[in-house]
Amino acid sequence: MQIGMVGLGKMGGNMAERLRRGGHEVVGYDHDPAISDVASLKELVERLSAPRTVWVMVPAGKPTQQTVDELGELLDEGDIVVDGGNSHYVDDQKHAAELREKGIGFVDCGVSGGVWGLQNGYALMCGGEQAEVERVMPIFETLKPEGEDGFVHAGDVGAGHFAKMVHNGIEYGMMQAFAEGWELLEASDVVKDVRGSFSSWRTGTVIRSWLLDLMVRALDDDEHLEQLRGYAQDSGEGRWTVQAAVDHAVPLPVITAALYARFASRQDDSPAMKVVAALRNQFGGHAITSSEGSTGKGADSPGADVTPPREAE
């Protein structure tokens, strides 16, 4: 099958390569001319035979909107656009409606697999009309892992990215659980082999998983993670998952806490913890640490100006 691939970064480039290895003809476009097959989206469309299929792998938000807008002017009735990026499912519905007015189909596809997808295949979650999904199935079949699993037509337009959004929310929670367990093991005076403890869980336990395998791999590279700073970004899906939970009145305490933990990781000196420290000092006389690192007297310690009644925390 012939397909156009817009965006040839870490994911898009590997996906294009997997498709080529699977016998498909891929025409790729990227802003980097060194890796692009064509000089523009217009040339990409001209290189494809009708009815065309163009897969978009660019960042969510404005870049995707601009790409969809331009493709809407270049493509013809009967062509299909697949958004395989990490778009918000609400944007999918908007894009589908805009393209539908011009007779252009739209399929949203959440893609999971990261840098390992070229070798292992990609888990695909798509949304859209049945006939349009079926037209793209040869592409989906090549991208997905071998076997029955790894692909779902989740529902209407937006369902694919909604499913991927929830997938990433679950991923946030799982990673946070591993992270907290690792920190507790590292803090223990009893456990001497933290890396070995994680590795022992890879066989026979209920938490064995690829994520656990990757955790052990990271500890093999840096046993105590001393080369890393405890700072974690979020790519948007975690926030959208929590917002969707609010919209649907569904409690997500684990995923929400994992998202907030990432926010906390970006603070060298947490403003909120300053308030907590100050209040603990005021009502309980607990020692406080200054911005220079020195420890001050508690509010009810000898020499303090105020002696409030003692409270238990």
Active-site entry in 164, 183, 226, 237: 164
Smallest CA-to-CA distance from 79 within 107, 105, 55 is with 105
CB burial of residue 282 (10 Å; 0-12, 13-18, 19+): middle
Residue 2 has phi, psi (to 5 degrees) of -100, 140
Q: Give the torsion sign (CA, 34, 11, 176, 169).
A: positive
State the residue for tokens 């990026």. Answer: 85
Catalytic residue flag (residue 132)? no
CB burial of residue 306 (10 Å; 0-12, 13-18, 19+): exposed
Catalytic residue flag (residue 42)? no
Active-site entry in 171, 186, 223, 311: 171
Smallest CA-to-CA distance from 111 within 128, 93, 127 is with 127
29, 41 in Cβ contact below 8 A?
Answer: yes
Supply the residues annotated as catalytic: 164, 171
